[in-house]
Structure 1
């Protein structure tokens, strides 16, 4: 953490929410050294994450949160800085980006800012093709405390904001070690779609098969063509497939195996999706 204390209004809390991330957490926390405060939220971790977090963080919170939105809100509430930088355990904040973050926090009149995300699969940087809920090239992860609230959902919960959005930070990006390889990407698709199926069942609106087939086609096209996935060759095709399949697979899990994902559909599969 930084030596010279900045003005109180510009203090930055770095927040990490993790589950069994003992392998990735050390590098993530080391890269957060320039922050004025590090807060780690551990959700049902059973590996060595607790010892790692206690060695580097100012505050460690343990708990059991079935919903992603709830555990992230708990972490935000624990931060004391005027600004919060919310990163995941598989993300690294390079030194050059810290300088840009400090500049923005010192001069911004806005409530939040998006930060460029550089997604890597294995050792390969993949710039094009990220779309939908399967990946993004920027996220609103730098914000004033009190400006951001996550909704009560399991996967990719929605956000409610207080205040205006400022400039996007693009000169430097966060290094995101998203997937180790293709098999890891497919396992992530399976996890995400299972969690989304549970959210659909909770809402009682799982959508229809025709609608989700159309979403598959439109998301595949958006990822491969509109978002430049074609420039990535075979990786772009794979990414477009996963991006399009995510809502369709979530729907099919909720429709065909509701008992595995929290119950039975409460409104039938002809209802409009969220």
Structure 2
């Protein structure tokens, strides 16, 4: 039995396509955290296992969703991801094997209308298919991942990811993830400065655009490199703000 788990918040523009691509699964579990658009209504067209909880961060939320799954195998996907027919066939074949307890899946992401194959985005191997009884998510607020006890296999067909549909979404995610990233760095004891923020942002652009060859992805490759650099810069500037607020309160 295969359970698909998805966490959501205001994903009405994506979730229908996502759910349609996994409608063949034995069970679909959706855990929402306060959507005020049509997300929940769309999800209920595909499954009656739609739950609502507060938002504690990505890792804890995905672990909550995992706790509600009943299948021996679990496929964890995001609302802006799609399982292709080729990937479905590979997954169904993998479930019949006994050798592995989890599988990495290559993820092919798009940025403002173009699938990105450079800039460190491809192949983006993500561990998303795993046995439920030997797996759990880390409790990280962002950049969470699943830990599987056992051997990990590799699938070949990609998981499609609409990472950034337009520039509004780019700016929104840069803001959200830089805030979460700053909080995570602060918890780890990392400290920042304006000079460090500038250098980190500049290095991110050099690495993405030149060393990881994002220039081969044309205009979107340049846009991606700039937004990556901005995200890194703002993460370290926000970290600096956290430090100053902490010092002020002491």
Q: TM-score range by the shorter chain?
A: 0.7 to 0.9
Q: Can you give the 5+ residue segments of structure 2 that lack an aligned partner in the other structure?
A: none
Residue 95 of structure 1 corresponds to 85
Distance in structure 2 (CA, Å) of the matches to 1:220 and 1:129: 10
Distance in structure 1 (CA, Å) of the matches to 2:82 and 2:127: 16
Distance in structure 2 (CA, Å) of the matches to 1:199 and 1:184: 22
Match of 1:152 among 114, 118, 139: 139
The alignment of Structure 1 onto Structure 2 pairs a total of residues equal to: 249
Cα deviations across residues 13-66 of structure 1 (Å, max 9, x unaligned)?
A: 111111111222122111111211111111122222222222212422210022
Q: Can you give the 5+ residue segments of structure 1 that lack an aligned partner in the other structure?
A: 1-10, 267-274
Contact 1:201/1:264 (8 A) holds in 2: no
Residue 22 of structure 2 corresponds to 32
Distance in structure 1 (CA, Å) of the matches to 2:51 and 2:144: 21
The farther-off stretch of 60-69 and 227-236 is 227-236
Match of 1:236 among 204, 221, 224: 221
Contact 1:117/1:175 (8 A) holds in 2: yes
Match of 2:149 among 154, 158, 162: 162
Residue 168 of structure 2 corresponds to 183
Instruction: Work out whether 1:247 is the aligned partner of 2:232.
Output: yes
Q: Could you say if the C-alpha distance between residues 264 and 91 of structure 1 is closer, same or farther in structure 2, counting changes exceeding 3 Å?
A: same
CA RMSD of aligned residues (A): 2.6
Residue 264 of structure 1 corresponds to 246
Cα deviations across residues 134-170 of structure 1 (Å, max 9, x unaligned)?
A: x972311111113433222222125433222212x22
Q: Could you say if the C-alpha distance between residues 210 and 69 of structure 1 is closer, same or farther in structure 2, counting changes exceeding 3 Å?
A: same
Instruction: Work out whether 1:14 is the aligned partner of 2:1.
Output: no
Deviation of 1:194 (Å): 1.2
TM-score (norm 1): 0.80
TM-score (norm 2): 0.87
